[in-house]
Amino acid sequence: MNLALFDLDNTLLNGDSDFEWSQFLIRIGVLDRELFEVKNLAFYEQYKAGTLDIHEFLDFQLKPLSRHSRKTLDAWHQQFMRESVLPMIAQPARDLVQRHRAAGDICAIITATNSFVTAPIAREFGVEHLIATEPEHKDGEFTGGVADVPCFREGKITRLKNWLTARGWNLESFADSTFYSDSLNDLPLLYKVKHPVAANPDDTLRAHAERNGWRIINLR
């Protein structure tokens, strides 16, 4: 039995679903462009530079969820999938996931982006398991807070370990474990698996991959 882990943004997607969700809300007039766009761009640059304060970002990203009903949010998300997400999915990414599924591997998307944004995207890829940052909710509605450890940097290791433990597994349960990522932020988890793969890597990750002999692929 093998384990295949996939980062989502800029790995399976040719873009960042977290960033694009805020841009989508700005575009349809839910968020004020003047107030939110500059912040959204700044957080995205911090993420790419490896300097993001995840709790500050999540406060920015999750608060808008608490201002609208789940029914309204779900309707917006359907539009978001059509207009923003599907154009970011390239065939090589679909083919990669399908190869692992066809081989009978346990497949999971593991992402810092919250599960409200990413669960429909995981379903689009046919990936059963999603390990993501979890928005806090009460009585079916979002509170604007975060539940559990954010699935970011070292937090991905914690969340993966908890996910595996709940199923009676650990990384050593698998004959092989592979993790595909584009980002320097995922270096902690990349060093934990047997086969780290740099997919569409940023410059820092590419340097690590070249130095360590990791496979480098292009999914775009």
d(CA 39, CA 60): 9
Q: Which of 9, 18, 105, 182 is catalytic?
A: 9
Q: Residues 6 or more apart from 213 whose CB is under 8 A from it?
A: none
Active site residue 59: no
Strand order in the sheet with 215-217: 141-147, 129-138, 106-114, 2-6, 176-181, 195-199, 215-217
Considering only CA atoms, which of 123, 125, 105 is closest in space to residue 194? 105
Which residues touch 115 (CB under 8 Å, ≥6 apart)? 130, 132, 133, 134, 135
Catalytic site includes residue 95: no
- Catalytic residues, by residue number, are 7, 9
